[in-house]
């Protein structure tokens, strides 16, 4: 357990940051150059993927030059005064925004402000020196990110998929139980869980993007690619299920919607749906398919029989129709997931 905690703390990104800082500082010491600015750039350039490191590094480098140039200019004009700090910070941010270098504005501003109190003369040489140290930090951190401990997100994506399928199944069961038990409004627990899963899905799609970007600079096997595509398609399916689930999260009920037999059918259908989700892509049972057929017939019967009295405001679909539609829509997604599981793409 202790080893797992230590390993989790010393993750790949933290290790790469340490290596980049050490190498950058070592090179600066060898050439008798200021260390601080090079190390700042080295730390800031370590990103989740090599692609992001290169892309953002190309933004932060010119931004840092802008900050250094403005700092030296105002120091030459006004000396080390409050006005110098203010103008250097404000104009650095302004110029970075105008030049579409927003991602490097923070580093540029820190560079500008930090240079002022340590510069007394030889302003141009000081600027050139900062350009050199910035270049060292940028190159070292980019190379470290590119060649040391390349990021691999496929395993994490799979683990997240398995967990999110189970959590979505649990949320579906809880919400359907609330509706069957005629609880008029959604519980805060279900609302919070739905919002949390929404956030987790966004994170999973971000990891998928990271993996695609990482493979631009690192080789991968055909098996790794197939596994990644499979998990990505499962994630797409989960997003569709989550979207449908949102309809019954927001639905409100009035009075008795279902008969006892309808409730039993709904419970059984949801139970088998939950079992499939928890297995994250096993085989749909014949009993489940039969229950879905019955639910489908019930849906059309409910929809045809739903003719609300004329009102100034009314919904075109009754709550029970929405609930049945959601369960059937989720089943359609489950069939696609089952097909993926059988054929592995």
* Model pLDDT for residues 17-70, shown as the tens digit of each residue: 999 999 999 999 998 888 887 888 888 788 888 888 888 888 888 998 899 899
Residues 212 and 294 in one domain: yes
Residues 111 and 182 in one domain: no
Residue bearing the bigger pLDDT, 52 or 169: 169
* Model pLDDT for residues 268-277, shown as the tens digit of each residue: 888 888 888 8
Domain count, the chain: 2
Structure tokens at 2: 């202790």
Residues 191 and 323 in one domain: yes
- Measured CA angle at 10 (ends 134, 209), to 5 deg: 70
Residues 162 and 129 in one domain: no
Report the alpha-carbon distance of residue 315 to residue 323 in Å, rounded: 14
Domain boundaries, position 158:
154-306+316-343
Residues 234 and 337 in one domain: yes
pLDDT at 64: 87
Question: Model-level pTM?
Answer: 0.77
- Of 89, 123, 147, the residue at which a domain comes to its end is 147
Residues 124 and 214 in one domain: no
Residue 311 lies in a domain: no
- Of 147, 171, 204, the residue at which a domain comes to its end is 147
Residues 143 and 172 in one domain: no
Residues 123 and 177 in one domain: no
**pLDDT confidence of 314, banded at 50, 70, 90?**
low
Q: How far apart are the first and last CA of the chain?
A: 37
Structure tokens at 134: 């910035």
CB 32 within 8 A of CB 53: no
- Measured CA angle at 154 (ends 148, 160), to 5 deg: 125
Residues 41 and 133 in one domain: yes
- Of 147, 178, 194, the residue at which a domain comes to its end is 147
Residues 158 and 134 in one domain: no
**CATH code (residue 172):** 1.20.58
Structure tokens at 40: 């700042």
Q: Using alpha carbons, list the distances in angstroms from residue 10 to 15, 18, 45, 151.
A: 6, 10, 18, 14
Give the number of C-alpha atoms closer than 13 A to the C-alpha of residue 306, restricted to the C-beta side. 16
| Mean pLDDT for the stretch of residues 288-310 | 66
Q: The tokens 């449908």 sit on which residue?
A: 244
Residues 6+ apart with CB under 8 A from 152: 211, 214
| Contacts within 8 Å (CB) and 24+ apart, 297-300 | 298/262, 298/265, 298/324, 299/324, 299/325, 299/328
Residues 333 and 193 in one domain: yes
């Amino acid at each position: 357990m202790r080893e797992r905690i230590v390993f989790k703390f010393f993750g790949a990104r933290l290790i790469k940051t340490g290596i980049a800082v050490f190498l950058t500082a070592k090179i600066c010491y060898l050439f008798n150059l200021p260390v601080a600015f090079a190390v700042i750039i080295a730390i800031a350039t370590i990103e989740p993927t090599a692609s992001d490191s290169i892309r953002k590094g190309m933004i932060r480098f010119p931004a840092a030059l802008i900050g250094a140039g403005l700092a030296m200019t105002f120091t030459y004009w006004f000396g080390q005064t409050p006005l110098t700090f203010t103008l250097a910070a404000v104009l650095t941010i302004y110029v970075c925004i105008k030049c579409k270098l927003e991602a490097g504005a923070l580093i540029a501003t820190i560079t500008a402000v930090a240079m002022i109190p340590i510069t007394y003369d030889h302003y141009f040489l000081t600027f050139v020196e900062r350009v050199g140290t910035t270049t060292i930090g940028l190159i070292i951190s980019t190379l470290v990110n590119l060649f040391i401990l390349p990021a691999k997100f496929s395993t994490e994506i799979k683990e997240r998929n398995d967990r999110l399928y189970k959590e979505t199944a649990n949320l579906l069961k809880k919400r359907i139980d609330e509706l069957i038990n005629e609880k008029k409004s959604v519980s805060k627990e279900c609302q919070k869980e739905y919002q949390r899963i929404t956030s987790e899905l966004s994170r999973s799609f971000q990891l998928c993007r990271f993996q695609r970007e990482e493979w631009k600079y690192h080789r991968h096997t055909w098996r790794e690619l197939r596994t990644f595509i499979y998990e990505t398609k499962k994630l797409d399916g989960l997003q569709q299920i989550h979207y449908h689930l949102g309809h019954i999260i927001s639905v409100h009920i009035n009075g008795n919607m279902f008969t006892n037999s309808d409730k039993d059918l709904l419970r059984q259908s949801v139970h088998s749906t939950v079992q499939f989700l928890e297995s994250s892509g096993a085989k749909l049972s014949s009993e489940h398919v039969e229950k879905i057929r019955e639910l489908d017939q019930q849906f059309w019967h409910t929809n045809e029989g739903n003719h609300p009295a004329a009102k100034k405001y009314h919904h075109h679909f009754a709550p029970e129709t929405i609930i049945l539609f959601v369960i059937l829509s989720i089943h359609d997604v489950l069939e696609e997931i089952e097909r993926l599981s059988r054929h592995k793409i």
